[in-house]
Structure 1
Amino acid sequence: MQPRNMSMSGVVDLAAVKAAGEAKQKAEEARAQATAEGGAAPSGPLVIDVDEAGFEAEVLQRSAQVPVVIDFWAEWCEPCKQLSPVLERLTREYAGRILLAKIDVDKNQMLMQQFGVQGIPAVFAVVAGQALPLFQGAAPEQQIRATLDQLVQVSEERFGITGLQGAAPEDDEEEAAPEPQAPEDPVLAAAQQALDSGDLSGAVQAYKNKLADEPGNVEAKVGLAMAELLGRVQGLDARQVRKDAADRPGDVQAQLKAADLDMAGGHVEDAFGRLVDTVGRTAGEERDAARLRLLELFEVIGGEDPRVVSARAALTRALF
């Protein structure tokens, strides 16, 4: 399952930083030399604080050896205080397969702008000098873990990057005595398994079962919204859907399908904007259909996401 705003297919070059081709070549040479000498590639700390001055060396160059996860945060950000410890703990669990770079946005505005960060917490990855968005907001741990698993897989398959060989969890008191975790919810686990296997109807039913028992369960709400979204876009001809939406701006069903494709492809603002515009130029049942679909897509991202907050305000203006 892809967590919020996860889009592994949309790998793009960083817009205002040096390309990492030379860095990748040097890193590969360093790995080869270390292997020839019977040692492992250098590891170092798995969780680092990064600023603009050290970004190239600590993120771009190291991304040729290991996927670098970037956590954009700030001291005043309460969701950041929930997310950062989870990312740090999972990074140590992955034992060198990923590196976590923490960037304080208040002190590094240029990096925030280069990545196009609209709100925090925001999590990106850099692999072989290329950046991709992972998710925004304090996502559930299960989804974060699934995202990191996919990142590791894509890094190896697409770029041949396998991480810092031989790295071990950092030796600190927190890791020596980890806090006990709550047992995994069997219903949510079954829903996740169904989703991962492509059984979308099974996932939808499992999440509905969970919500029947716990109507306020956030993970089940997000999972259900994602499963239903994937079900709606399954089998769609993307080119035809976008042509229909462009040719028939007044066709609500065409706009709903295009918005679903936008969301599934990680184009969150485009999906929200399309539906808000549709609400603004329709009435009656058609307006209700566009409004309800927009609310469903809000669930995919999460109500705390700044893009959802902005879109809710735009929806209110369109309605009243």
Structure 2
Amino acid sequence: MGYSVIVDSSNFEQEVIENSHKNLVLIDFFATWCGPCKLLKPILEKLLEEYDFILATIDIDLHPDLAQKFGVEGVPDVKIAFEGEIMQGFVGVLPEADIRDLLAQFNLKSDLDSKLEEMHQAMANKDVPKAKILLDELFAKYPNHPQLILEASKFLIRLNRLEDASKMLKTIGVIQKEYYAKAQGMQTLIELKKSLENPGETELDQLFAQAARLTLIDEYEAALKLFLQIVESNRKYREDGARKAMLGIFNILGSDHPLTKEYQQALILVLY
């Protein structure tokens, strides 16, 4: 876990430059009247709970000398101090995911992500009790964290506790844009899991069941190929179920994922 410090001219050298040789320092130039600054602040503070970096905050109205020295023309303006050097970070409000990507460029790893990797390994080893212990520890440390809710829901789906998973996913609201689409995609996983209880006997039934099983073990490319094949064969099958399943996978992967881009285009060509 990192920490935040208020910086001015008297402590800038110590808190920013010297400390940057031990920890990455994000320098948040802000103003109390700045609306975007108020939006960015809780994002940075949330990341401080997961990452080991220093957040140095500088009020440009109180310390215009520092703002001028580092070429701050608009706020929020986040600079990066690393190994004694000051470099540009970003101006304005970045999505949380983009700031995480920025931290990753400096080899910073979230404590949450590290623990989740342990949980994934436990699941791969079919050590469900250990996975549950790790999830319980994470919920105690990061209550209501949307990424953790998604992971716990997936864990519950694998245990066939579908109603519990669905209830948990519904706690992620539309306002949490970065996670809401993924939560909707996870609801698709629940429907696919339910479909396997009575898969049917026709050729399309078996194809759909195979695609559903592949989706549930994260074999998304193979699943998308089969769902697309079903759409080509019979758009009305399971009330457009194959197309809806593909949209669910797109939500899980995200709009920028190569598979999403490839199969969105392929789906459009089939439909139109």
* Same structural fold, with TM-score higher than 0.5 when normalized by the shorter chain: no
Q: Which has the higher contact order (CA 8 A, sep 6+)?
A: 1
Q: Which has the larger radius of gyration?
A: 2
Q: TM-score of the superposition, structure 2-length normalised? A: 0.45
Q: TM-score of the superposition, structure 1-length normalised? A: 0.39
